[in-house]
Amino acid sequence: MKASFRSDQVEYAIRDVVVPATILEKQGAKITNFNIGDPNKYDFKTPPHMLEALQNIANDTEMGYAPSEGNLELREEILAFERSKNMLSATEDDILVTSGISEGIQMLIGATLNPKDNILIPGPAYPPYTSLTRYFGADPIIYNTLEKENWAFDIDDIRKKINAHTKAIVLINPNNPTGALLPKNHIKDLVDLCGEHDIFIISDEIYDKIVYDGKHYSPSSFSNDVPVVVANGFSKVYLVPGWRVGYMVFHDPQERISEVEDAVKKYSRLRICVNSPCQKACISALKGPQDHISKMVSKLRERRDYMYKRFNEIEGIECAKPQGAFYMFPKITHPAWTNDKQFVLDILNNCHVLFVHGSGFSKEQGHMHFRSVFLPPIEIIEEALSKVERYLDSK
């Protein structure tokens, strides 16, 4: 039996490159992974008070379903946190806890788009936004970001690409895969543009506290009318990607997208609820000590600085400096390659170092780029990039 035509739309470059790496590993090779944005795979560990909270919950007898919209105490804590950060019109009822942001994206795109509708997505971007838009039969329209301006978005390109079928625009700030952190005035301009065209903003803020230069701003802080759906979660900042707890906040001061919000909540009842013990344990994340965040950021800053310097020393690679998240998106300028996927496979086979090809994040803007995490300790980065340098020099 053939799989549905919808399934052809599903691509996830980040995990696709793991297949050839696993084959090599089975043959005895030791692969150094720079492909997965999972800090727990390196020397970043979940804060002990959160683990303790989960252990205590495991001794409870209360192991029933949670409410579909999410544990109330968790939603109250999320609201308090989001209000301290952003100007929000939302109440607890406008918060939906999801199985990671990933589930939230899926629900929101499914509830927003009909066939022929479109959504604007940055190029390059975290792949599910594009894949899921296609999966639901709608059109992803990719807008340009400018490598020379540290991958800030090109508002003129966005303006040109908005049309009568555009429903929303995705902002990922800080961005995966480029590490771009958007300046305040750019975000304000975008909010104004969305107001002119009656479209709403999906604001992915999963790396909001992982910033090195400057400050993170949410479009919700600048909007009294334009709806902003803030998507955030615990995977990265609180170091629990496997718990699968994220959330969406509907900031909609003039109730322009209340039908979409209702549709998302209706859908959420179909999937019953998010893992209930992990939701409860996430209350301790927001209530408890936050000092692991500044420690994580200063460790990552050192690694970023080192990797940025090292990549730019290699002939055949150029790299902009990321200001947030834990990704770099270098450009391949070496004359031996014309295809970024082939470059990544060649580096894998010859250096046993695994990156992700840039075209997996956007065919056009990711062409001849690759994504690397800077999560591993400096010694590991040093060893891996020296191998890459030697290999490129030999070509």
| Shortest Å, Cβ 208 to ligand PLP | 11
| Shortest Å, Cβ 241 to ligand PLP | 5
Instruction: Report residue 379: phi and psi, to 5°.
Output: -60, -40
Report the distance separating Cα 184 and Cα 328, nearest Å.
22
Which of the ranges 98-106, 111-119, 288-296, 328-336 carries the binding residues for ligand PLP, by CB under 6 A? 98-106
Which of the ranges 97-105, 281-289, 300-308, 342-350 carries the binding residues for ligand PLP, by CB under 6 A? 97-105
User: According to CB under 6 A, which residues from 243 to 302 bind ligand PLP?
Assistant: 246
Residue 375 makes CB contacts below 8 A (sequence gap 6+) with 34, 37, 38, 39, 41, 42, 44, 300, 303, 326
**Residue of 112, 166, 176, 362 that binds ligand PLP (CB under 6 A):** 176
| Shortest Å, Cβ 109 to ligand PLP | 13
Binding mask 221-240 toward ligand PLP (x if CB under 6 A, else -) reads ------------x-x-----
Report the distance separating Cα 212 and Cα 324, nearest Å.
6
| C-alpha 294 chain-centroid distance | 20
Under the binding rule (CB under 6 A), the answer on residue 204 touching ligand PLP is yes
Under the binding rule (CB under 6 A), the answer on residue 172 touching ligand PLP is yes
CA 330, 158, 173: angle at the middle one, nearest 5? 50
Under the binding rule (CB under 6 A), the answer on residue 101 touching ligand PLP is yes
Q: Give the residue with the Cβ less far from ligand PLP, 308 or 361.
A: 361
Question: 269 to each of 71, 233, 266, how far by Cα in Å?
Answer: 14, 20, 5
Question: 56 to each of 50, 234, 278, 338, 351, how far by Cα in Å?
Answer: 10, 19, 11, 54, 45
CA 187, 191, 195: angle at the middle one, nearest 5? 170
| Shortest Å, Cβ 391 to ligand PLP | 28
Residues in contact with ligand PLP by CB under 6 A are 37, 100-102, 126, 172, 176, 204, 206, 233, 235, 241, 246
